[in-house]
């Protein structure tokens, strides 16, 4: 047995303590094991297997087509890639809106089959009963209010929320109702910064903002957006911390040129019959995995 210290997994209790200590929470989306490992090793506290995968992975215009089985598949991959981050699985559109019983069964499936550590669902006070039943069943729930992308058609598109008359009061009431029902954290998406500040001050659970200003207890971004995978997509609330889209295209261009010019592969990247290695030596050196 190895004598090394096992990495402590971030839990919903860690996140609450971070708010109490005034430590900001860094959350990112993840959809596969390789990215999850990089984001985990980079220090992200929470990885959300967001239904945004319907857009950035599947290429749809909205998150609406994503299924529960697809979410479970991506959750399994992300969990396998992590050691420290808390992994949240998004409940897809129409897997919890029609009844509490259906929401319970589907959240249970995401935890059992996806292996994620908690679930996230969109919407306010209307989901209070479902949230309290899930929490009573031992399933931690992250809430999500403001711009809720599953209501794309109802909202008339991806738009900042809460500016209309009564909007602030409605958002505050939804936040308080969800906290009361038992959510352990709340995503605030695309709402004015001063409303997010008010909600953050009123709640004892952490708020995680996306396009909701700096006062939130933490921030979340779609990893593909903050890594600059798509040079044409740069909404105001996204900061690009890398330009991987350009880096990848440059690398592919270089590869294509070297294949065409017969400079790849070199002799060192090829095999010879006469080498001293055993004929059936492994193709890859096994770098320590986990
Ligand atoms: O699906 C998603 O990625 C999300 C985040 C943007 C919060 O819900």
pLDDT tens digits, one per residue of 146-179: 999 999 999 999 999 999 999 999 999 999 999 9
Compute CA distances 162 → 125, 172, 228, whole Å: 15, 10, 28
Ligand 1 mean position to 50 CA, how many Å?
5
pLDDT tens digits, one per residue of 129-139: 999 999 999 99
Statement: residue 287 has pLDDT above 60: no
Q: How far apart are CA 146 and CA 161, in angstroms?
A: 5
Structure tokens at 222: 């779609």
Q: Say how many C-beta atoms besides its own lie within 10 A of residue 159's C-beta.
A: 10
Can you give the pLDDT at residue 105? 98
275 is catalytic: no
Ligand 1 mean position to 61 CA, how many Å?
14
Query: What φ, ψ does residue 208 adopt, rounded to 5°?
Result: -125, 115
Ligand 1 mean position to 96 CA, how many Å?
17
Closest residue by CA, ligand 1 atom 1: 50
Closest residue by CA, ligand 1 atom 5: 50
Compute CA distances 169 → 174, 196, 233, whole Å: 9, 12, 32
Q: How many whole angstroms from its chain centre is CA 113?
A: 18
Catalytic residue among 189, 201, 231, 269: 189
Q: Which residues contact 13 (CB under 8 A, 6 or more apart)?
A: none
Q: Say how many C-beta atoms besides its own lie within 10 A of residue 124's C-beta.
A: 20
pTM of the model: 0.95
């Amino acid at each position: 047995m190895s004598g090394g210290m096992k990495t402590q997994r971030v839990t919903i209790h860690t996140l609450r303590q971070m708010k109490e200590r005034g430590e900001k929470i860094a959350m990112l989306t993840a959809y596969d094991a390789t990215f999850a490992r990089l984001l985990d090793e980079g220090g992200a506290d929470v990885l959300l297997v967001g239904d945004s995968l319907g857009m950035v992975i599947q290429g749809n215009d909205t998150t609406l087509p994503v299924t529960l089985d697809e979410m479970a598949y991506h959750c399994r991959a992300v969990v396998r890639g992590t050691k420290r981050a808390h992994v949240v699985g998004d409940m897809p559109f129409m897997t919890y809106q029609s009844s509490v019983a259906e929401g319970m069964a589907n959240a249970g499936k995401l935890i059992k089959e996806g292996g994620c550590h908690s679930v996230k669902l969109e919407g306010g006070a209307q989901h209070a009963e479902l949230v309290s039943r899930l929490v009573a069943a031992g399933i931690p729930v992250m809430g999500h209010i403001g711009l809720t992308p599953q209501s794309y058609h109802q909202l008339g598109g991806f738009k900042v929320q809460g500016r209309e008359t009564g909007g602030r009061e409605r958002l505050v009431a939804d936040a308080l109702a969800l906290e009361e029902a038992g959510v352990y954290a709340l995503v605030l998406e695309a709402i004015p910064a001063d409303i997010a500040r008010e909600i953050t001050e009123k709640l004892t659970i952490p708020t995680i903002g996306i396009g909701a200003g700096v006062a939130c207890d933490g921030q979340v971004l779609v990893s593909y957006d903050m890594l600059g995978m798509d040079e044409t997509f740069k909404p105001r609330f996204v900061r690009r911390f890398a330009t991987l889209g350009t880096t990848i295209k440059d690398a592919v261009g270089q590869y294509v040129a070297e294949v065409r010019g017969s400079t790849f592969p070199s002799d060192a990247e090829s095999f010879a019959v006469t080498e001293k290695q055993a004929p059936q030596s492994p193709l890859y050196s096994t770098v320590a995995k986990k």
